Structure 1
Amino acid sequence: MATETAPRWRSTLDSVVVYAQGAVCRRLVRGSVPPHGRVRVTGLPRSLDPGSLRARVLGAPGVRVTEARVEVEAEPLGTRAPDGLRSEVERLREEYAAAQGRRDRQLGLIDEVRALHPVPPARRREDPHRRTPVDAWLELADFVDERLTGLHTRLVELEEALRGVEHELTVAADRLARASTDAPSAHVETTVCAVLTLDGAGDAELELELEYGVPGAVWVPAYRLTHRQGDGTGRLVMRASVAQRTGEDWTGVRIALATADLRRRTDLPKLRSIRIGRRQPAPAPTGWREPPAGLADLFAGYEAAGPRPAPIAAPAPVGAGPAPVAGAAGAASGPVPPPPPPPAPQGYGGPPPAPAPPAAPGSAYAPSPALFGGGPAALAQSAPARPAGRSRTGGGSFAGAPAPMAPAAPGAAAPPQPPPPPPAAGPPQPSGAELDYAALVLCGPDEHGGRKGRLFPEPPLGAAAAEHRRRAEAVAALPLPGHAVRPRESAGSFDHRFDAAARADIPSDGTWHTVTVAALPVAVRTEYLCVPSVEQTVYAELVLSNATDQALLAGPVEVTVDDDFLLTTALPTLAPGGVRRVGLGPAEGIRVVRRTNLHESTSGLRNNTTVLDHRVHVELANRLAKPVTVEVRERVPVTSDPDVRIVERAGWTAPDDGVGPEHHAPGTRVRRVDLPAGATAALDGGYEIRFPAGKALVGGNRRS
């Protein structure tokens, strides 16, 4: 059954799951199934991965999809004009080239006029001295100055016009680069279809679901935090910046965001057992079959008819050298045997094929090594894509027209051929592409290198699909917004999925678009922290507690306090049930001053102990209209020498590492002070260092 008779069903994009890089799209389609059970679903993007196509029937338990295959159709647009942006860019490019040409011609005229200068006639030795015609020199100088003034005035106008056209061209080119890639190219419209074969459908109307993966989609999280002073809860709105260049616009689709890697393998490894004894399990079938008998005589009649007539040679371009004539060279030096083709890949079954028979005597044509040699990679690149609707059993799918070859130069040595690789032990192991029986193509009589009459995998979708995928994957290099972090970097060892609350529109333009995901309640409290020994400034912090079952990834967060925007800062990764701190910057309403005093003395029975008494005095002043709690941090020395003792003053305690993954340096001491509105407080602290009088402190300023 030819695929042209299959009805065309238009599909609708329903939902998209965007992963760390790439996306999985889900389309819905409804229609009546013909008696032969084959339908063609249109509307698929040009960058989809053909191996990721999945299809299933919804709401019909007895109907199943037995085959799903991707096919590409291309047709010229004809007389239809291209889109406006592309035509505008082409028009501006032509206008820019014309303006640049006018400017260059004006520069040439200026150079010609500037080169005008008086040249005196040649003077012979016997000629007397002549007087210089000063008036003529001055007239020429006035003419050059006047002419250059007019030319430079015109040059300024031309350069201004050139800058204007260049600006318009830059703006139009930027708009074209940011435009959606869903529109077809200027001259060719490519349609990607999914050919489905249904079993047990009858003539009923069914609903199908198509799922496929596409590259060229990335996302990063972003947040907006709103809370009021004095309130212990806040509202955290999770948003996502999504950029995609998949080749199709996502209009009115359900968006889901996942932190997983779409390209990571999830299948479990197969552990094969090793048995000791004579009885071993039967080997798994490989799918390899012996070639049918008489395969070599299948095209005997075709070969007995002789070679094809020679094609008419194209006229040589003007100015080219004389092309060598194959017939004349052959008549002068005798028939030239064609070079032996390289060993072709083994076909679907059978021993390595025998070399192709030589061409008939006097023939000036031989198979081109670029088309019929070099293994399956060279064949896949040189063979044209099979047009849609062509029968899979037709011959010559990999073959092309024989290319003329000029005779080898006299005395030229043929390049040495590499020895063929040794055959592998046991039967051949077909690859996954060779086991896809529906995609195998029977090679026709024009094939060489032992390919004729054998089945080979169908060539890939072509270079156009690879180019679309390359352009789509370029979106991964898009610059990130401020404070943004890739999901795979912030997610760590867990994967999570976030479902957007409403449908969204994301065009395929390769720029960032914001999508609101969900609103989450979080516990919020404001704390103030200062380290006066480092900087006499008080900083405000927000302590966030995630009481939900969803993880919060690292990303930028916009903080709004009492309906006033405060700042944009970085939110760290917050696991379910986790607590983290977010810095809000300096608190200008709270002042801190630190003073230190060092007193050195001796003690002991014979004054054999040196005592360094460090005293610290900290003053705090709250100028805010609300009470605050300030945490003051100091640090005392830490020693491992048993002769040195550190005696601390009371009132300072070691910090608690229970809030977030914060780690304090050894010797850190904290003190929390409650300050009412407009109140002040003074803190005294310090420590004594006692060590033997015969020793001294080494390193640093002990009086700091």
Structure 2
Amino acid sequence: MESGVSEGTQRWASALDAVVVYAQGALCTRVARGTVPPDGRVRVEGLPRSMDPDSLRAKVTGGDDVRVTEVRVEVDAEPSATGTADDLRREMERLRDVSAAAQARRDRHEGLIAEVAALRPVPPPRKRDDPHRTTPVDAWLRLVDFVDERLTGLHRRLAELEEELRLAEHEFEIALDRWSRASTDARPTHVDTAVCAALTLEGSGEVELELEYGVPGAVWVPAYRLSHRQGDDSGTLVLRASVAQRTGEDWTGVRVALATADLRRRTDLPRLRSLRVGRRQTAPAPSGWREPPAGLADLFAGYDGAGPRPAVTGGRMAAGAVAAGPAAVAGAGGFAAGPVPPPQAPPAYGMPPAAPMAPGGAPGAAAEVFGGALPDAPQPVGAGPGGRPAARARRAGAPAALAAAAPGRSAPPPPPPGSAPVAAGPPRPSDAELDYAALVLSGPDVGAESRGRLFPHTPFDPVAVEYRRRAEAVSALPLPGHAVRPRESAGSFDHRFDAAARTDIPSDGTWHTVTVTEIPVGLRTEYLCVPAVEQTTYATLVLSNATDQALLAGPVEVTVDDEFLLTGALPTLAPGGVRRMGLGPAEGIQVTRRTNLRESVSGLRGNTTVLDHQVHVELANRLARAVTVEVQEQVPVTSNADIRIEERADWTAPGQDTGPDSLAPGTRIWRVDLPAGGTAVLDGGYEIRVPAAKAIVGGNRRS
């Protein structure tokens, strides 16, 4: 079944060639090849149901004398010849029934055990004058033996039924997991639905087409693998990506690129009107509009005189290609698609001229070709959005039918008495109203004010909406460990990473790892300790990015000398940036710190308190190689001019750094080169001179 095309229209198969995955969503490129038919009308198949129809673009990559003059999205639906192909769903439903039957058998057996266990001897009722009877012990014992023997067999059977139920539930859970993780590229119903691109080509000969369209339901986060050898000043950082997609089509053998940009962000620039000083010029006639024909209201006089008619759900027929295929009626995908009420029609602007569609078929292209809403045309007084005057129906000579508002909308109020007259001028159609093939002709049942006139109309496809809703669910997947969203780590800049080889990513909504490229980075191993806080030395890797692309934040697997060390969090590293990444404690380097405080007074009258802090640090290298250790100490910082701090050490102050690795004010650094098995002793200190009338908050004695 075809929608709006003749039976002789050629159908071209297409193959997915490249995918650019953005922060959310993806831009897919399909390639189709064939010979241009005489009428130039071609249908390219293979598009997914979840695609955004407004994002479809087409261009010719092979064939110099051929160009695309129109491209549209159409949906086909027909009964499937082979029946339902969703074997995983049928297997899941079968195992669900098996599990339910096993559960019912187990429950019935437990009820039988309860009945047998409740067996008790009941003596016959005794009358008041009857003597007491002797209890038949043998009957009691036979009943106990019967119950015991019966319960033994029943419990043995119950264990078997519970094992069967456990296996059935396990198989059902496996089938349910396979069905939920299965690719959405499979056809889920008895109705075969297909989204096609209907193109009109101008030219002849062999041609190669590229179709580009956007789809929701694709996300990615970066990941890395770092290989380093001790003693080297460089390493290899392999950029990988965790990609998840549920777009409705499997990406098989495609070129994958990863971008941090927002695919839904608007990129169109505002258009400013020109301001001219001089003699007033006549406004050019707007293209794409003409007066409605005379006698339009009398066209339906015979229809109105035929008497009452049965109620219908809508009274419009398409003026051109039907935008909604039969999939909306057939309910492809297993979703109910009941009657949808027609949308409210915007204000009509008359009959459009019989002009050809603009190249590409896009509404914006039509406005450019036919000059709709010229930027240098003067704006009429009282114009609304899109340059359309609010009182356009009040100009002189306009037909009465043009002044009527669309159903559900009120007519514009009359101008107040004494107001200035509204500038006359024809209406200016919007871009949607200039897309002639998407206009819908109103039938005789929509009302006298709109019948026989054209309106923009976008059909509602509930199946496509459900596909897009399913695809959007992939954005709620839990992130891998240490993973960060690209938009969070990229900041104000956007980056793109192209994979070196083609890859396969099924449409199952789970994370898949893709190797992108190798990035050379500068590496050096440094050891850091802050003995005033903790007498432990930590190994760190100092990474420097010498490339022109940023390294986004994400998990990194560190391998040293071909041995896996740990999985850490790589911070965002801008081009030319240097960052430090911790590797954990280094047990082979020992550090010891001791302090001493002496308090005294100085000055002629002893009016100054001197707090002399002495710091003694000992380092010992127990590794088999030479290392560089950075020891950090903290010196008090004051903003009071009466308090002086004098340092007595050979440490150095770090440079001014405002990045995420910046140190606190007052930090001092020792850098010590320790040979294998060597030791070092560091002595330092500082004096705090405080006036006797003042004291340090919290006490003068501090370690």
TM-score (norm 2): 0.79
For residue 576 of structure 1, what is the aligned residue in structure 2? Answer: 575
Cα distance in structure 2, aligned partners of 1:118 and 1:376: 84
- In structure 2, how many angstroms separate the alpha carbons of the residues matched to 1:504 and 1:81? 29
Give, in angstroms, the shift of residue 271 of structure 1.
2.5
**1:605/1:104 CA distance change after superposition, 3 Å:** same
1:209 and 1:17 mapped to 2: Cα distance?
14
CA distance in 2, matches of 1:577, 1:127: 112
Residue 92 in 1 paired to residue 91 in 2?
no
1:246 corresponds in structure 2 to 247
Whether 2:411 is the aligned partner of 1:423: answer yes
Measured after TM superposition, the shift of residue 229 of structure 1 is 1.6
* Greater shift in the superposed pair: 212-221 or 227-236: 227-236
SS in 2 for 1:465: helix
1-side partners of 2:572 and 2:450: how far apart?
Answer: 58
**Does the 8 Å contact 1:555/1:570 carry over to 2?**
yes
Q: Partners in 2 of 1:173 and 1:264 — Cα distance? A: 37
Residue correspondence of structure 1 range 389-408 to structure 2 within 5 A? none
Q: Is structure 2 residue 182 aligned with structure 1 residue 188?
A: no
Asked if 1:156 is matched to 2:159, the reply is yes
1:206 matches 2:207: yes
Superposition deviation, residue 476 in structure 1: 1.0
Give the equivalent residue in structure 1 for 2:273.
Answer: 272
Does the C-alpha gap of structure 1 residues 603 and 155 become closer, same or farther in structure 2, counting only changes over 3 Å? same
1:31 is matched with which residue?
34
Change (3 A) 1:529 1:657: farther
Choose 132-141 or 295-304, whichever is displaced more: 132-141
Q: Say if 2:617 and 2:682, in contact at 8 Å, map to a contact too.
A: yes
Alpha-carbon distance change, 372 to 216 in structure 1, aligned in 2, over 3 angstroms: closer
Q: Classify 1:308/1:612 alpha carbon distance in 2 versus 1 (closer, same or farther; 3 Å).
A: closer
User: Greater shift after overlay, 95-104 or 626-635?
Assistant: 95-104
Summarize the alignment of residues 85-164 of structure 1 with structure 2, pairs less than 5 Å apart: 85-113=88-116, 147-164=150-167
Question: Counterpart in 2 of 1:261?
Answer: 262
Equivalent residue for 2:59?
A: 56
- The answer to whether the 8 A contact 1:343-1:449 is kept is no
For 2:668 and 2:285, how far apart are their aligned partners in 1?
A: 70
Work out the CA distance in 2 between the residues paired with 1:562 and 1:420: 74
Relative to structure 2, which stretch is displaced further, 89-98 or 261-270?
Answer: 89-98
Alignment of 1:387-536 (within 5 A): 421-424=409-412, 432-444=431-443, 452-460=451-459, 462-536=461-535
Deviation track 1:171-210 (CA, whole Å, cap 9, x = no partner) reads 11111222211111142222111000112x13x1211111
CA deviation map 1:354-383 (0-9, x unaligned): xxxxxxxxxxxxxxx987688469xxxxxx
> Would the alpha carbon gap of residues 220 and 646 (structure 1) be closer, same or farther in structure 2, given more than 3 Å must change?
same
> Residue 423 of structure 1 aligns to which amino acid in structure 2?
A
CA distance in 2, matches of 1:688, 1:678: 34
Residue equivalent to 1:610? 609
**Alpha carbons of structure 1 residues 140 and 642: separation in structure 2 relative to 1, 3 Å:** same
- Check 1:119–1:455 CA distance in 2 against 1; reply closer, same or farther (3 A cut): farther
Q: CA deviation at 1:503?
A: 1.2
Following superposition, the deviation at residue 670 of structure 1 comes to 0.9
What per-residue deviation string (whole Å, max 9, x for no partner) do you get for residues 142-169 of structure 1? Answer: 6555555544443333222222111111
Residues 109 and 451 from structure 1, CA distance in 2 versus in 1: closer, same or farther, beyond 3 angstroms? farther
For 1:371 and 1:513, how far apart are their aligned partners in 2?
39
- How many Å apart are 1:111 and its aligned residue? 4.7
CA contact (8 A) 2:652 2:669 kept: yes
Q: Give the drift of 1:119.
A: 6.8
1:372/1:448 contact within 8 Å kept? no
- Within 2, Cα distance between the matches of 1:114 and 1:301? 86
Q: Are 1:172 and 2:180 matched, yes or no?
A: no
Q: Are the aligned partners of 2:315 and 2:442 in contact in 1 as well (CA < 8 Å)?
A: no
Aligned to 2:7, the other structure's residue is in SS state helix
1:62 is displaced (CA, Å) by 3.3
**Over residues 518-555 of structure 1, what are the superposed CA-to-partner deviations in whole Å (9 max), with x where a residue is unaligned?**
21221111111110000111111111111111221111
Q: Please give the secondary structure, in 1, of the residue aligned with 2:520.
A: strand
Kept after mapping to 2: 8 A contact 1:372/1:447:
no
Distance 1:132 1:535, change over 3 A: farther
Partner-residue secondary structure (3-state), 1:4: coil
Q: Residue deviations 1:17-74, cap 9 Å, x none?
A: 1111111111111111111110000011111110000011123343221111111112
Letter in 2 for 1:567: L
Q: Which amino acid aligns with 1:573?
A: T
Report the CA distance shift for 1:437/1:610 in structure 2 as closer, same or farther (over 3 A).
Answer: same
Q: Distance in 1 between matches of 2:124 and 2:163?
A: 43
Amino acid at match of 1:242: V
Q: How does 1:636-651 map to 2 (within 5 A)?
A: 636-651=635-650
Matched residues in 2 for 1:670 and 1:161: separation? 69
User: Structure 1 residue 12 and structure 2 residue 11: aligned?
Assistant: no
Please tell me whether the aligned partners of residues 30 and 210 of structure 2 are also in contact (alpha carbons under 8 angstroms): yes
Alignment length (residue pairs) = 609
Q: Secondary structure at the match of 2:509?
A: coil
Cα contact 2:313–2:339 (8 A) shared by 1: no
Structure 1 residues 590 and 243: alpha-carbon distance in aligned structure 2, compared to 1, 3 A threshold: same
Aligned 8 A contact 1:372 1:449 in 2: no
**1:700–1:691 Cα change, 3 Å:** closer
1:679, CA displacement in angstroms? 0.4
Within 2, Cα distance between the matches of 1:30 and 1:544?
A: 48
Equivalent residue for 1:626?
A: 625
Partner letter of residue 495 of structure 2?
Answer: H
Matched AA of 2:177:
D
Change in 2 beyond 3 A, CA 1:277/1:165: farther
Aligned to 1:681: 680
What's 2:80 paired with?
Answer: 77
Tell me if the contact between 2:654 and 2:668 (Cα under 8 Å) persists in the aligned partners.
yes
Label 1:38 to 1:303 Cα distance change in 2 as closer, same or farther (>3 A): same
Alpha-carbon shift at residue 496 of structure 1 (Å):
1.3
Residues 645-671 of structure 1: per-residue CA shift (max 9 Å, x gap): 222112122112459642221211111
Residue pair 1:23, 1:217 contacting (<8 A) in 2 also: yes
SS at match of 1:31: strand
- Equivalent-residue separation in structure 1 for 2:618 and 2:515 (angstroms): 46
Contact 1:579-1:659 within 8 A present in 2 as well: no
**Partners of 2:448 and 2:123 in 1: how far apart?**
80
Q: Is the 8 A contact 1:543 1:582 kept in 2?
A: yes
* Deviation (angstroms), 1:293: 3.6
Deviations 1:621-663 (A, max 9, x none): 0111111111111111122233322221121221124596422
In structure 2, do the counterparts of structure 1 residues 701 and 39 end up closer, same or farther at CA, with 3 Å as the change threshold?
farther
Task: Report Cα offsets for 1:306-343 as digits up to 9, x if no partner.
Answer: 5679xxxxxxxxxxxxxxxxxxxxxxxxxxxx9xx999
Which secondary structure state, in structure 2, belongs to the residue aligned with residue 581 of structure 1? strand
Structure 2 equivalent of residue 557 of structure 1: 556
CA contact (8 A) 2:240 2:516 kept: yes
Residue segments in structure 1 that go unaligned for 5+ positions in a row: 310-337, 349-368, 378-418
Contact 2:226–2:238 (Cα < 8 Å) also in 1: yes
After superposing the two structures, state which structure 1 stretch, 261-270 or 140-149, moved more: 140-149
8 Å contact from structure 2 (residues 529, 535) kept in 1: yes
| Aligned partners of 2:58 and 2:210 also within 8 Å | yes
Residue identity over aligned pairs, in percent, reads: 72
Q: What is the aligned partner in structure 2 of residue 328 from structure 1?
A: none
SS of the aligned residue for 2:597 comes to strand
CA distance in 2, matches of 1:573, 1:420: 54
**8 Å CA contact 1:581, 1:660 repeated in 2:** no
Q: Following TM superposition, by how much is the alpha carbon of 1:680 offset from its aligned partner in structure 2, in angstroms?
A: 0.3
Query: For residues 421 and 49 of structure 1, do their structure 2 counterparts lie closer, same or farther at Cα, with a shift above 3 Å needed?
Result: closer
Could you say if the C-alpha distance between residues 101 and 544 of structure 1 is closer, same or farther in structure 2, counting changes exceeding 3 Å?
Answer: same
